[in-house]
Amino acid sequence: MKQNFTVRQGALDGIEACLSVARYKSFRRAAADLGVTTSAISQAVRTLEARIGTALFQRTTRSVGLTEAGERFFARAKPAFEELVAASRIARDLGQRPSGLLRLAVPRAAVPILLEPLIASFCKSFPEVEVEIAASEELVDLASHGFDAGVRLGQFIAADMVTVRLTPAFPLVVMASPGYLRDHKAPRKIEDLHQHACLRMRRSNGAIAPWSFVDGNKAVEAVVTGPIIANNYPTLLGCAIEGMGLVQVPEPVAAAALRAGRLARVLDAFAPTAPGVFLYYSSRQQMMPKLRAFIDHVKSEIRKGNKSRR
């Protein structure tokens, strides 16, 4: 049967004083060790004994010893108190310098393009921080899943998050392999997509994402069909390179394949612009030094990159 249990306010009061008395077998020496008066130590012991409901010490004018209840109490209280002190020390250290585990929720496509260079330089600068990258397209709640920060396209980040820009805005481009375009006439209008195999993205909410375009000043969404559905850009990109159909992805994701001639762009006149990729984190949390160091490092590396491109 489950028992009701409540930790009363001040339940730990007097433990350190009593442990010190038990250690030195002396109220005077315990007081000197803790830097308080002997009367303060005596009062703390009396209060703890009253709260527990039994005497913990046998006192005479010449000596101090433990009762049987005291022996049993301190056999368990001493290691428990030492664990609390150690836990406090660890928490204090994490709050004073960059150290511990930094957990980041990141889309798979962003890891090789954006994060690998940043993480490598960050780990060299802050060796006491361990970085865990959870690569997934799922839009997770940072706090409830234990993440310090995340990386996402700007349009998918909640309004109450603090953001740091990682990339400029970029187009969402439609591409296909040269082999596919030899066998199929390249689309010239959005309506032409109905005649093509289109590789599609399944969002984290289960819905298949339509393709987005702009036609003049008007935003257009096209519902397309095709042989492949995946939940991440790298998989779709690989299928497009193999000639399985057209794909629409953020331009930076396909930059290497475009430079190598493995993919070619189509429908550029209708390409919409995405706001870019951002690092984001909660504005409500008390920022730990590990996250503050990572944010400052990211900003510094981005400034360096911007200067080198000028």
Q: Which residues lie below 8 Å from residue 252, measured CB to CB, with a gap of 6+?
A: 113, 167, 170, 277
Is a pLDDT exceeding 80 seen at residue 96?
A: no
Name the E strands within the chain.
57-59, 64-66, 100-106, 129-135, 149-153, 161-165, 170-176, 198-201, 211-215, 218-222, 229-230, 246-250, 264-266, 273-274, 277-282
Q: What is the pLDDT of residues 196-237, one digit of tens each?
A: 999 999 988 889 999 999 999 899 999 999 999 999 999 999
Of residues 22 and 177, more confidently modeled? 177
Q: Average pLDDT in the 114-140 region?
A: 87
Residue 137 — pLDDT band, cuts 50, 70, 90?
Answer: confident
Residues 162, 291 contacting (CB under 8 angstroms): no
Instruction: Give the helix/strand (H/E) hosting 290.
Output: helix 289-309
Q: How many residues appear in the chain? A: 310
The CA distance from 243 to 11, in Å, is 69
For residue 18, the model assigns a pLDDT of 86
Helix, strand or coil for residue 133? Answer: strand
Inter-axis angle of helices 68-94 and 15-24, to 10 degrees?
120
Is a pLDDT exceeding 70 seen at residue 292?
A: yes
**Within 13 A of 295's CA, how many CA atoms are on the CB side?**
18
Residue 91 — pLDDT band, cuts 50, 70, 90?
Answer: low
Provide the 10 A C-beta neighbour count for residue 164.
Answer: 16
Q: Average pLDDT in the 96-108 region?
A: 87
For the chain, count helices (H), then strands (E). 10, 15
At 300, list the tokens: 């510094």
The CA distance from 17 to 13, in Å, is 9
Q: What is the pLDDT of residues 36-86, one digit of tens each?
A: 898 898 898 888 888 888 888 888 777 888 888 888 888 888 888 877 777
| Domains located in the chain, CATH noted | 15-94 (1.10.10.10), 100-166+279-309 (3.40.190.10), 170-274 (3.40.190.290)
The residue behind tokens 């040269």 is 178
